[in-house]
Structure formats: structure tokens, C-alpha cells
């Protein structure tokens, strides 16, 4: 039987040890562009005492022709940042060659990008190259909403004996992304936390949002969901950035964000708080079991309808009726102040299940 991988609590120590700011913070430009650019950005960001300064050296672009990173020549620039400001540095690696070069230049933290996590060959190659290192390695979610691939990437790095690991949530691409560049799909990270409760989880609001104006709100949502920290892209002149210019913020805007952000405590030990919480939770438990009861009753009726339709040789799916009831339900839900999308999703799911039950012989 395959041994289940566990992330032990002590493997979070790298994170706790470094939690010197309000939140664990990795900040810096999307890409290292010139030596002057990274040094001046680091100087500004250093005032915020981030845990790590980030800069992409190798940039995986979706299509050729974009800026693909300065490559190896940028690594000594990051070393200068370590030396001049005593700031730890982080960069993205996409293959074993990048790992080797980054380790040779003593980069403190390496992350695996979303376009790499999708590829088990690449992740395995990186894992092998990392063997024996005590550097921090963070695994971004894959571009597509596939928890298995993300877990697989984490397991490969863990299996190589890397102790200081964590995950970065950067959102998932979708064909109809409107508000977000990459939809957060928060439920996926909730599932990830279930699998690896002790794995440090960092939110990357820059790549989720793809736009400056949503970064604060998304950072706060992450922290409200008990994420451990933030990775935020910051550039001295965002509109002139060579990559991801729409989502970068200036160090000043970053300072403002850090100032405004609220870090919730994991829990409160106040007696009145706990007592009241328990009362509400009991009510939720009762309502949840009522929901199950109602769904069960609903499905029993679906089964009866299914039998009737079969006897009469009537088609199971009656699109007209479904087309009529859905707007009525959404309207009713809206009047009560419930989110329309949420209700639509739930009833779509109930309808699919109901059809399945009606088809059962």
C-alpha cells in the first residue's frame, strides 16, 4: 500500500520563525529587468521588512515573443540584494538547470510556477535537483483547477526529502475569466488544507486578480480564510513593467496595503465567544441535517415521477419546466438576499441528480 504523505507540524517552523511582520510577506517585481530596477525596488520594499524579496529570472510565457526573463545574469543582482539589505531572496524555477543555478547563487527560496506544476516530469526533475537542500520550496497551484496535480507536485517535492515546503495559491485560469485573471476557486484550497493541514499556504493576489484594484480585497479574503501569508508583485513603475504590468503595485501602495490589512487570530479563547459560537454551530448542525432530510424527500418524489414517466414512456428531461422554475427560484432567493449564482449552482446540481434518479430503473 502507498504510504500517505504527511506534512508534520515542525515543517512549518520556517514560516513561524520568519513571521516578523504583520503577515508573512514575499514582495518584489514580477520580473528582474535591470540591476538598477531590482536594487531600487528592493531598497524601497526593504523598509516594509518583508520576509523575502521576489523577482522572476526565468519567465515562462504563455506565448513566445513576450519577455522571457533576463536569465542567469540576474542571479548576482539578487545576491547583491542579500548583501546590501540583508534581505532574503526568492525566484521561480522551471527545470533542474534553473535549480542548479539558483542553488549555486544561494537563492533562499525557490518557487515552482503554475505552468510547471501542471507537468509531473518537470516537477520530478526539479525534486531530484533539490535533493539535500534546506532551502524553502513553494509550489504554486497548477494553471488548471486540478487539486490532484497540485497535491502531486507537493508530494513529489516532499518525497525528495525537502522539509521546508509550502503552497502558493495563484488562482486558476478559465475561459470566461472576467473579474479575476485567474479565478480563486477557494474550495480547492480548502480541500488542500484538508489533505495537508500543516502545510503553510500563501496567497498570491497579484496573479489571481491581474488588476491592481482588487489586490487588497483578495489579500484580506485569503487572510480571513486563515492563509499564512502573502506574495505580492511590486514594481517602482508598474505601468512600465516588462511583464504583468496591470497587476503590480508600487512599494508605497504595498505599504498602504500592509498597513490596512487585518490579521485575524486563529481563534479566541474568550468564554462568551466560545459559548455563543457553540450555540450557533448547533443551530447550523440542525439546519444541515434538515437540508439532508429535505433533499432526501425531494429525491424520493423524483423517483416516483421517474416511475410514472417510464410507465407512460415520457422523456425524463422536460426542458420547458426546468426553464420555467429556475428563474422563479432565483427570483425568490434574491428577494431573501441570497446570492443568485450560488442558488443557480445548487439547483443545477439538484436537477442533475434528480434526472439521474429518475433514470434509475
Q: Which residue of the chain is nearest ligand PEP when measured via CB?
A: 113
CA 282 to chain centre: 31
Is residue 94 within the footprint of ligand PEP (CB under 6 A)? no
Q: Supply the DSSP string of 56-81, one letter for each residue.
A: BSS---SSTTS----GGGGHHHHHHH
> In the stretch 19-48, what mask flags binding to ligand PEP with x, by CB under 6 A?
-----------x------------------
Residue 247 near residue 210, CB atoms below 8 Å = yes
The smaller minimum CB distance to Mn ion, of residues 62 and 319, is found at 62
Interactions with Mn ion, residue window 120-149 (CB under 5 A): none
> In the stretch 227-246, what mask flags binding to Mn ion with x, by CB under 5 A?
-----------------x--
Cβ of residue 210: shortest distance to Mn ion, in angstroms?
Answer: 9
Per CB under 6 A, the list member of 170, 205, 228, 354 interacting with ligand PEP is: 170
Count of Cβ atoms closer than 10 Å to residue 282 Cβ: 10
Count of Cβ atoms closer than 10 Å to residue 341 Cβ: 9
Cβ of residue 134: shortest distance to ligand PEP, in angstroms?
Answer: 23
Q: Give the count of alpha carbons within 13 A of 46, CB side only.
A: 16
Is residue 138 within the footprint of ligand PEP (CB under 6 A)? no
| Dihedral sign of CA atoms 96, 97, 98, 100 in order | positive
What does the alpha-carbon distance between residue 197 and residue 200 come to, in Å, rounded to a whole number? 8
Per CB under 5 A, the list member of 23, 25, 26, 30 interacting with Mn ion is: 30
What does the alpha-carbon distance between residue 205 and residue 252 come to, in Å, rounded to a whole number? 17
Burial environment of residue 217 by CB neighbours within 10 A (0 to 12, 13 to 18, 19 or more): exposed
Cβ of residue 244: shortest distance to ligand PEP, in angstroms?
Answer: 6
Is residue 140 within the footprint of ligand PEP (CB under 6 A)? yes
Geometric angle at alpha carbon 13, from 8 and 15, rounded to 5°:
115
Residue whose entry in the numeric block shows the C-alpha cell 499556504: 201
The smaller minimum CB distance to Mn ion, of residues 220 and 247, is found at 247
Is residue 92 within the footprint of Mn ion (CB under 5 A)? no
The smaller minimum CB distance to ligand PEP, of residues 98 and 170, is found at 170
Residue whose entry in the numeric block shows the C-alpha cell 487539486: 147
The smaller minimum CB distance to Mn ion, of residues 141 and 358, is found at 141
Residues lying near Mn ion in the complex (CB under 5 A) are found at 30, 244
Residues that bind ligand PEP (CB under 6 A): 30, 56, 92, 113-115, 140, 170, 207
Amino acid at each position: 500500500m502507498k504510504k500517505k504523505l504527511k506534512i508534520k507540524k515542525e515543517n512549518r517552523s520556517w514560516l513561524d520563525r520568519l513571521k516578523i511582520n504583520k503577515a508573512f510577506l514575499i514582495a518584489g517585481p514580477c520580473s528582474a529587468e535591470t540591476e538598477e530596477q531590482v536594487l531600487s525596488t528592493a531598497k524601497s520594499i526593504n523598509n516594509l521588512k518583508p520576509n523575502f524579496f521576489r523577482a522572476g529570472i526565468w519567465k515562462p510565457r504563455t506565448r513566445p515573443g513576450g519577455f522571457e526573463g533576463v536569465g542567469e545574469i540576474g542571479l548576482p543582482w539578487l545576491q547583491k540584494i542579500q548583501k546590501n539589505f540583508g534581505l532574503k531572496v526568492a525566484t521561480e524555477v522551471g527545470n533542474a538547470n534553473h535549480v542548479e543555478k539558483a542553488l549555486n547563487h544561494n537563492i533562499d527560496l525557490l518557487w515552482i510556477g503554475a505552468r510547471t506544476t501542471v507537468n509531473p516530469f518537470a516537477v520530478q526533475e526539479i525534486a531530484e535537483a533539490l535533493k539535500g537542500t534546506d532551502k524553502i520550496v513553494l509550489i504554486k497551484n497548477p494553471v488548471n483547477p486540478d487539486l490532484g496535480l497540485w497535491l502531486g507536485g507537493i508530494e513529489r517535492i516532499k518525497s525528495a526529502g525537502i522539509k521546508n515546503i509550502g503552497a502558493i495559491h495563484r488562482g486558476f485560469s478559465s475561459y470566461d475569466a472576467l473579474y479575476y485573471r485567474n479565478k480563486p476557486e477557494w474550495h480547492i484550497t480548502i480541500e488542500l488544507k484538508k489533505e495537508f493541514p500543516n502545510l503553510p499556504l500563501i496567497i498570491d493576489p497579484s496573479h489571481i486578480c491581474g488588476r491592481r484594484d482588487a489586490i487588497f480585497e483578495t489579500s484580506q479574503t485569503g487572510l480571513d480564510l486563515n492563509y499564512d501569508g502573502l506574495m505580492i508583485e511590486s514594481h517602482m513603475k508598474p505601468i512600465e513593467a516588462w511583464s504583468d504590468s496591470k497587476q503590480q503595485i508600487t512599494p508605497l501602495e504595498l505599504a498602504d496595503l500592509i498597513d490596512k490589512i487585518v490579521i485575524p487570530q486563529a481563534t479566541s479563547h474568550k468564554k462568551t465567544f466560545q459559548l455563543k459560537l457553540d450555540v450557533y454551530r448547533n443551530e447550523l448542525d440542525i439546519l444541515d441535517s434538515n437540508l439532508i432530510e429535505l433533499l432526501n424527500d425531494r429525491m424520493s418524489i423524483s423517483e416516483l415521477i421517474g416511475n410514472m414517466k417510464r410507465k407512460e414512456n415520457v422523456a425524463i428531461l422536460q426542458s420547458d419546466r426546468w426553464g420555467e422554475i429556475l428563474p422563479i427560484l432565483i427570483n425568490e432567493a434574491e428577494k431573501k438576499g441570497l446570492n443568485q449564482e450560488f442558488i443557480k449552482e445548487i439547483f443545477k446540481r439538484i436537477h442533475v441528480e434528480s434526472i439521474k434518479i429518475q433514470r434509475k430503473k
